[in-house]
Structure 1
Amino acid sequence: MTMHTHKYLTKSRYRSRGFSMVELMVALVITLILLAGIGQIFISSKKSFVIQNALARIQENGRYAMDILVSDLRRAGYWGGNADITTITGSQGVNLTAAEECADTTAGPSDWTRMLGRSVYGMNLSGTAKPSDTGNDYGCIKDAGASPYVRGDVLLVRYAHPSSIGSITKPLPCSKAAPNTTIKDCYPNEYFLRSSLFRGRLFQGVNSENTENNLVAPAIRTAELVAHAYYIGESSTASACPADGAVPSLYRISLVNGAFSAEEVAYGVDNLQIKYGIDTSGNNVVDRYYDADEIDSTDLTKPDWENVIVARTWLLVRAECPETGYTNSTTYAMGDENYTPADTANRGYRRKLYTSTVKLRNSN
Structure 2
Amino acid sequence: MNPSIRQPTSRGFSLVELMVAMTLGLLMIAAIGTLFVANKTNYRQNTLIAEMQDNSRFAMQALVRDIGMAGFMGGMTDLGAIARGSDTLPAIASDCGPGADGSGGWALDNAPLEVLDQPGTGATATHACLGDEPLVPTADVLTVRHVAGLPAAELDTADAEATLRANTFYLQTNRTVGSLFFSGADAEAPDTSHAPRLPPKSIWEYESRLYFVRDYSQTPGDGIPALCRRYLADQASPRTDTECIAEGVENFQIAIGIDTDDDGIVNHYDTDPAVTDLARAVTARIQLLMRSTAADPGYRNDKRYDLHGHDDDGDGAIDESGDGYTPDDRFYRRLVQTTINLHNPALASGSTP
TM-score (norm 2): 0.81
Give the 3 Å change call, closer, same or farther, for CA 80–247 of structure 1 in structure 2. Answer: same
> CA offset at residue 102 of structure 1?
1.9
Among 215, 227, 239, the residue aligned to 1:234:
215
Contact 2:284 2:340 in 1 (8 A): yes
Residues of 2 paired with 1:343 and 1:288: CA distance?
30
Between Structure 1 and Structure 2, whose CA radius of gyration is higher?
1
Partner deviation per Cα, 1:173-213 (whole Å, 9 max, x = no partner): 43xxxxxxxxxxx31xx421012233322222247332223
Residue 317 (structure 2) aligns with: none
Aligned partners of 1:329 and 1:341 also within 8 Å: no
Paired residue for 1:250, among 227, 242, 246? 227
Which of 15, 20, 27 is residue 21 of structure 1 equivalent to?
Answer: 15
Partners of 2:190 and 2:116 lie apart in 1 by 38
- Report the CA distance shift for 1:29/1:270 in structure 2 as closer, same or farther (over 3 A): same
Q: Does 1:139 find its partner at 2:133?
A: no
User: Is the CA contact 2:232–2:241 (under 8 Å) kept in the aligned structure 1?
Assistant: yes
Task: Tell me how large the CA RMSD over aligned residues is.
Answer: 2.5
Correspondence list, 1:1-364, <5 A: 1-5=1-5, 9-10=6-7, 13-14=8-9, 16-92=10-86, 102-103=96-97, 111-116=105-110, 118-125=111-118, 128-133=120-125, 137-142=126-131, 144=132, 147-151=133-137, 152-167=139-154, 169-174=160-165, 186-187=166-167, 190-206=168-184, 208-213=189-194, 214-218=196-200, 220-237=201-218, 245-256=222-233, 257=235, 258-292=238-272, 295-297=273-275, 303-337=276-310, 339=312, 344=328, 347-360=329-342, 361=344, 362=347, 363-364=349-350
CA shift, 1:25, in A, is 2.1
- Whether contact under 8 Å (1:192, 1:225) holds in the other structure is yes
SS of residue in 2 equivalent to 1:221? strand
Task: Give ranges in structure 1 of 5+ residues lacking alignment.
Answer: 96-100, 105-109, 175-185, 298-302
Matched AA of 2:145: R
- Determine helix, strand or coil for the equivalent of 1:114: coil
1:341 and 1:323, CA in 2 relative to 1: closer, same or farther beyond 3 A? farther
Distance 1:19 1:139 in 2: 83
Output the amino acid matched with 2:175: L
SS in 1 for 2:20: helix
| Percent of aligned positions that are identical | 27
Q: Which residue number corresponds to residue 101 of structure 2?
A: none
Q: 1:196, 1:210 → 2: CA distance? A: 15
Q: Is the 8 A contact 2:171 2:179 kept in 1?
A: yes
Alignment TM-score, normalising by the size of structure 1: 0.78
Moved more, 74-83 or 312-321: 74-83
Shift of 1:158: 0.5
1:357 Cα deviation after fit: 0.7
Structure with the largest fraction of strand: 1
SS in 1 for 2:23: helix
* C-alpha separation in 2, matches of 1:87 and 1:154: 27
Shift of 1:251: 0.3
- Which amino acid is 1:88 matched to? I
TM-aligned CA deviation for residue 129 of structure 1: 4.0
Mapped partners of 1:350, 1:158: distance in 2: 33
Specify the SS of the correspondent of 1:203.
strand
Which residue of 2 is the match for residue 183 of structure 1?
A: none
Q: Which amino acid aligns with 1:254?
A: Y
8 A Cα contact 1:91 1:202, kept in partner: yes
SS at match of 2:306: strand
Distance 1:85 1:343 in 2: 44
- Say whether the 8 Å CA contact 1:249–1:269 is kept in structure 2: yes
CA distance in 1 between counterparts of 2:294 and 2:71 reads 39
Give the deviation of 1:125 after TM superposition.
1.2
Q: Which amino acid aligns with 1:140?
A: C
Q: What amino acid is the match of 2:209?
A: H
Q: Report how far residue 92 of structure 1 moved.
A: 4.2
Alignment length (residue pairs)? 313
What is the deviation of 1:332?
1.4
Q: Secondary structure at the match of 1:208?
A: coil
Distance 1:167 1:267 in 2: 38
Q: CA deviation at 1:80?
A: 1.0
Counterpart CA distance in 1 for 2:74 and 2:11 is 94
